[in-house]
Amino acid sequence: MKSILKSITSGKEYPLDEVRFTADNGELLDVIHDFDAVKKQFPISRDYFSNKRLSINGQPSGGVWHFRELILPTIVESEIISKQEGNTRLYRSKQVASWLGLDKEKFFLKHEGENPTGSFKDRGMTVAITMAKHLKQKAVTCASTGNTSASLAAYASEAELTGLVLIPKGNVAVGKISQALAYGTKTLVVNGDFDDCMRLIREAQEKLSAYPLNSINPFRLEGQKSIIWEILAQRNWQMPDWIVFPGGNLGNTSAFGKALHEAKELGLIDRMPRFAVIQAEGASPFYKAFKNNFAALKTEKADTIATAIKIGDPVNYPKAVRAIKWTNGIVESVTDEEILEAKAHVDAAGIGAEPASCATVAGIKKLIGSGEIKSNETVVGILTGNILKDPQVIVDYHFNRKTALANPPHDINATLEELRQFL
């Protein structure tokens, strides 16, 4: 069994064990596995994945490494650094379905905020940090709007690697920055935005030999493929009509497209769902490119309350375009107001998620409104980050808004009379 790195544009190949993130000419790289060899060794099928019980290093494998044969088939088990990431819940919600106008039996929310550090990033991090260790790297680094830095910090600690994260000044939610500090990674607050941090990481990767764990790292995307396969396995391999999720740096869009493309190649599925990638209006270069038939990506200065997706120059753009084409997908944008309204509904349903995640639900609402998504279709929305990541947005909303769902606290004196008025 042999896996390689391969340029998505020119097809140029590189060994898997070479420390590189792009081809010589800067093109993005895919990890390509030899699935014929994998199939000779493992009886890959729906039943195989539905029935197998796997443990890694004496612990249940979790969702990512359950699909190890299709993610990193060549790695030795003892080298895997895992926190049992994945196996996240696929919620149903009567309230959210009814607000959206969808059939409650046909609407699901996959909650990636229930991963070890509270976001989907852990799925990619377990694979990329395993490779960092395998490639004998000493230091790992990333640019981040917050969640990648939280995840990197936790996994670098576990792997006993030096961690260094770059975050944009004033634009990272308090829960996320707290995690980076608490898990003990070096945190650099950069006077600039996420796109500046990302540019710096790409320069540093060439000149300072620090191993980047951003989604430009193709191993990150290998881990994130498991979100899609897990949804399919949880739904007994029934394909939904739509899979809807937020887009920022477009790592998930790229990984999810690859997951489905490979599932089709492996005979695990016979049809594709449609993707709907949702961007915040103030950070929507992918949406604008989509509207322009992907003629060109015009980078922009990003601005949105959903700081996780405040990105104007997405590094995975070419892979994401490919994913939209593979899935006959669409890209939509929603305003910050729409994100906050959707968030109030997701939160009040007792599920809760951070603002960027709720762009998913705001996008579904908009696409139902425009008739793109039909009320009888099956829709899986992905919530990417935990409600506790960004408490400030919640406090601001409930203290300051006059909406039906605003739920400010009330001060009372310690008397039964005062208490009674609230029951």
Residues near ligand F0G (CB under 6 A): 119, 121, 144-148, 215, 246-253, 308-309, 354, 356-357, 384-385
- Cβ closest to ligand F0G, residue 145 vs residue 304: 145
State the minimum distance, in angstroms, from the CB of residue 58 to ligand F0G.
30
- Nearest approach, Cβ of 279 to ligand F0G (angstroms)? 9
Tell the smallest beta-carbon distance from residue 187 to ligand F0G (Å): 13
| 298: three-class secondary structure by DSSP | coil
Taking the least distance from each CB to ligand F0G, the nearer of 310 and 345 is 310
Q: Which is nearer to ligand F0G, 44 or 289 (CB)?
A: 289
- The answer to whether 351 and 91 are in contact (CB under 8 A) is yes
Q: How far apart, in whole angstroms, are the C-alpha atoms of residue 377 and residue 382?
A: 16
Q: Of 121 and 365, which CB lies nearer to ligand F0G in the complex structure? A: 121
SS3 179: helix
* Nearer to ligand F0G among residue 269 and residue 308 (C-beta): 308
Closest contact distance (angstroms) between CB of 356 and ligand F0G is 4
DSSP string covering 190-254, please? ESS-HHHHHHHHHHHHHHT--EE-STTSHHHHHHHHHHHHHHHHHTTTPPPSEEEEE-SS-HHHH
Beta strands in 267-411 (DSSP E): 274-280, 330-334, 379-383
The span from the CA of 36 to the CA of 94, in Å, is 43
Place of tokens 């596995």: 33
d(CA 135, CA 324): 32
Nearer to ligand F0G, 44 or 213 (CB): 213
Length in residues, the chain:
423
Rounded CA-CA distance 172/308 in Å is 8
Query: Whole-number minimum distance, CB 385 to ligand F0G, in Å?
Result: 3
Min separation Cβ 324 and ligand F0G, Å: 13
